[in-house]
Amino acid sequence: MPFFAASGVTVRFGGLLALDNIDLVVNHAEIVGLIGPNGAGKTTLFNCISGTQRPSAGRIVFDGQDISGLSPHARSRLGVGRTFQTVKIFPALSVRENILIGCHAQMHTGLFSDGLHLPRSATAQRAATEVVDEMLEVLDLSRVDGRLAGELPLGQQRLVEIGRALATRPKLLLLDEATSGITKAEVGELVALLRQILGKYQLSMLVVEHDIALVLNLCDFIYVLDFGQMIASGSAAEVRSNPAVVEAYLGRVEEEQVPATSGLAGATR
C-alpha cells in the first residue's frame, strides 16, 4: 500500500469541474512534483489533501488511514504539514514564536495543565523549545530568532513558514509555490535545504511549483495537471518528452543547473 494516495478525487464548483477523477501517489521519503498551468487545479488538489476543501468524490488515504473526512487540524496531528503560495506567518510575532506555534499544534497538555504550569506542561514546553532550537539551526535562522517575522526579507519569511510546518513533525510536507517571489540564488539554497530536510527527517514531500526547471531536477516523480485532468505522470525525462505536456505547458523549457536528485529505487505506484 502506498504511503499516501489520492484516489478518484473530484471537485465541482457549481457547473465547473475543477478536478476530474484525480489519482496521485507519494511513497515514503520521496519528493513528488505537481505542475500545470495557472488554473489547472493544483491548489484545489492541495486543499483537498490538507483538508481545507472537501472533494465532491474520491478518497484520500494517508499512512494506512482514510483521512477523507478529517479536519485540517486532525490531519496535521496525523502528520500532514503544509506551506502556502502566499506566505502565511504572524508578522507581529518573533521568528521563534512563529515556529513555536507549530509545536503547540502538536501538544496535548490541555488548557488546565498549561494554566497551572503542571509538570506535564513544563515537560512539553521544554520539548517544544528544543524543537524550535533545532528548526532555527537547520534553517539557519538562529541569528534572527528574536526579530519580528514581518521584518524579514521574503526568502527568510518562507523559511519561517517551512520551520513552523516542520515543527509539527510532519510525515508528509506539502509545499505550495515555495519559491514564489524569492531570488534565483535563494531558489538554489532552498533546493539544497529541501534535500537536507529529506535526508535528516526521512519525510515525504509533495511540491507544487511554478519553477519547472527546479521540479524537473528535484523531484523523484512528477504529475502534470491541465484543466483539472491529470495529463501525464512519470520521471523528469518522461514528463519532458511527453507531447501532451509540451503542448499544454512546458514548451522549450531549459533545465537550470540544479544538482539532480538521486531518485528512489523500487518506488511503486
Residues of the chain with CATH 3.40.50.300: 1-79+171-269
Q: Please report, for residues 72, 81, 125, 131, 215, the alpha-carbon distance to residue 77 in angstroms, rounded to integers and kept in the order given.
A: 9, 9, 17, 16, 28
Per-residue pLDDT, 37: 86
Smallest CA-to-CA distance from 159 within 142, 174, 141, 172 is with: 141
Q: What is the pLDDT of residues 11-23, one digit of tens each?
A: 999 989 999 999 9
Beta carbons of 64 and 156 less than 8 angstroms apart: no
Condensed to tens digits (0 to 9), the pLDDT of residues 124-177 reads 778 889 999 999 999 999 999 999 999 999 999 999 999 999 999 999 999 998
DSSP one-letter string for 130-165: HHHHHHHHHTT-GGGTTSBGGGS-HHHHHHHHHHHH
Cell 539544497 appears where? 192
- For the chain, helix (H) and strand (E) counts, in that order, are 10, 10
Residue 64 three-state SS: coil
Among 51, 75, 28, smallest CA distance to 206 is for 28
In the structure grid, which three cell numbers stand for residue 79, read together?
A: 502528520
Predicted TM-score (pTM) of the model is 0.84
Which parts of the chain sit beneath pLDDT 50?
Answer: 108-118, 252-266
Architecture in CATH of 1-79+171-269: 3-Layer(aba) Sandwich (3.40)
Cα distances (Å, whole numbers) of residue 13 to 18, 106, 114, 244: 7, 33, 42, 26
Instruction: State in Å, rounded, how far the first CA of the chain is from the last one.
Output: 9
- Checking phi first, is residue 249 left (phi over 0); if not, alpha (psi -120 to 50) or beta? alpha
CA gap 125, 129 in Å, rounded: 6
The pLDDT tens digits of the residues spanning 153-162 come to 999 999 999 9
